Amino acid sequence: MPATVISDRYELLDELSHGGMGDVWRGYDAVLDRPVAVKLIRQAAVTSPQLAEELAKRFRREARITARIQHPGVPQVYDAVLDESYERLFLVMELVDGVPLSAYLQPDHPLPVSWAAAVAAQVATVLSHAHDVPVIHRDLKPNNILVARDGTVKVLDFGIAAILRTDVTKLTATGSPVGTHQYMSPEQVRGGRITPQTDLYALGCVLHELLASTPVFTGGNEYALMHQHLAAAPVPLRQLRPNVPEALEHLVLHLLRKAPESRPADTQEVYARLLPFLPAAGSVPTQAETGPLGAPDPTGVFRNPYAPRSRAQKPPAAVRTPTTLELQPLPVPDELRAAIKEAYAHSDALLDDGRFAQAVEVLGAVIEPAARALGSDSRDVLGLRRRRAAVRFLGGDYRAALPEFEALAGAYARTAGPTGTSARECHAQAARCRAELGQVTEALHELQGVLDVVSRLDGDVSEEAIELRHGIAVLLLAQGRVIEALRLLEPLHEDLVMVYGPDDELALEVAEMLARIRLDLNGRAPD
């Protein structure tokens, strides 16, 4: 029987795994003469050609962001293909020969402490690189962790949960939160802001299961599991397995704290706390360190040291005061005006194709000459810089977009006043960058400041105010501040129904958030 061929290039040979988000096939790239893994996103996720095109754009965007994670623990992404029927989407990636972590989990046969610590440390190393991009996994679990034959841990499916998350693509009819219930953080259950600490919670669930041979929570159904993640205290590991070192038990409990900001600061801290339980360089495994028969040994890479990348050091922000000459409006020369118009058109075309990095370069090439000719605070230059910041945000480069939005907010405050629309919008975008980078407290403070101004000028039911109120509520939920979020969301829902009607998309989303909060508070499934 001939193999199925997609895109006139990739042959699907045999199925490797069957999962909730799609099937993985062993394939072959006929052009480059190499084996590949091909992930088929389920047809049920795509219900129309229009939705297929939307999903394809998002798929390619997430594939490009994932490809920026430069670490051997992340399989390389080669291609994203929409087939001719507009019904299926394929992700083509590096084929890894290894064993899924779920195969290591055997009831009543917990792993050696050094094995569990080695897996967790390698996952932390991978996450340190991902979170630096930043990319958040959102669905870390044993089935998404593979131990290659040389003992290297590979973290699979970066970007898949982001592609299918319902707050962006609306691909599911249920509105269910993305994630696997046994490893889902409280903020995911509530529908709150996802941050790097969300991955740390899932890592705590995985490490607990490796050491105890049982999940943290085992509710009888998904609602019971979600409520346990919201309200139940995990059983300390030493009550389940007395020989677990006390410090390791403390680390797992720290990772499993309900509030994201109460968890470890970052993956580097987690790695440092795992170090005492990893084998020393040059050491030989003892009999007690023997793991499952035939399984690759994840401790091997630590016998030859293997560590995460160093934390990025923030460069001091350069503050430049414009001269009086620069603040004076100047006419735009015809040649420069044409270059600016071309930069906008070219960047638009690149955005349509999802080529964010190249669009940033195109805009940057005209910003500098325009600033020299017109002044750094001219309307044309600020417009170009704002477009570049927006492209960076859309492309997931929040670390670069943040200082640009902050600088733009200051520039618009100088030129149009601190309460002007442009200054407010740039402050809000800077806050959203902070939220994506896990700086939730700072993001909340900045969004609240913008909302205070908007409410004073335009009232609480303007489109801008409603968007800000919703964003603040999502961040409050991410911090576990459920009562405060409830007090904000209930009047927001009433305003949305009054202004836009009960079937408005955001009104329905807020109603779903309120239902989850009531599940949290009442400890039972909504009727």
**Do residues 140 and 123 lie in contact, with contact meaning Cβ atoms separated by under 8 Å?**
yes
Sheet with 10-18, strands from edge to edge, namely: 4-6, 10-18, 22-29, 34-41, 89-93, 77-82
Which SS3 state, helix, strand or coil, does residue 170 take? coil
Cis peptide leading into 134, omega within 30 of 0?
yes
Cross-strand bridge partners of residue 28: 11, 35
Q: CA 396, CA 465: separation in Å to the nearest integer? A: 25
| Cα gap 66→93, rounded to integer Å | 11
- Is 119 in contact with 153 (CB distance < 8 Å)? yes
Q: What are phi and psi of 463, to 5 degrees?
A: -60, -40
Return all residues near 409 (Cβ < 8 A) that are at least 6 apart. Answer: 423, 426, 427, 430
The alpha-helical segments, DSSP class H, found in 31-108 are 49-67
Catalytic residue numbers? 139
Q: How far is CA 36 from the centre of its chain?
A: 25
How many Å apart are CA 149 and CA 412, to the nearest integer?
A: 56
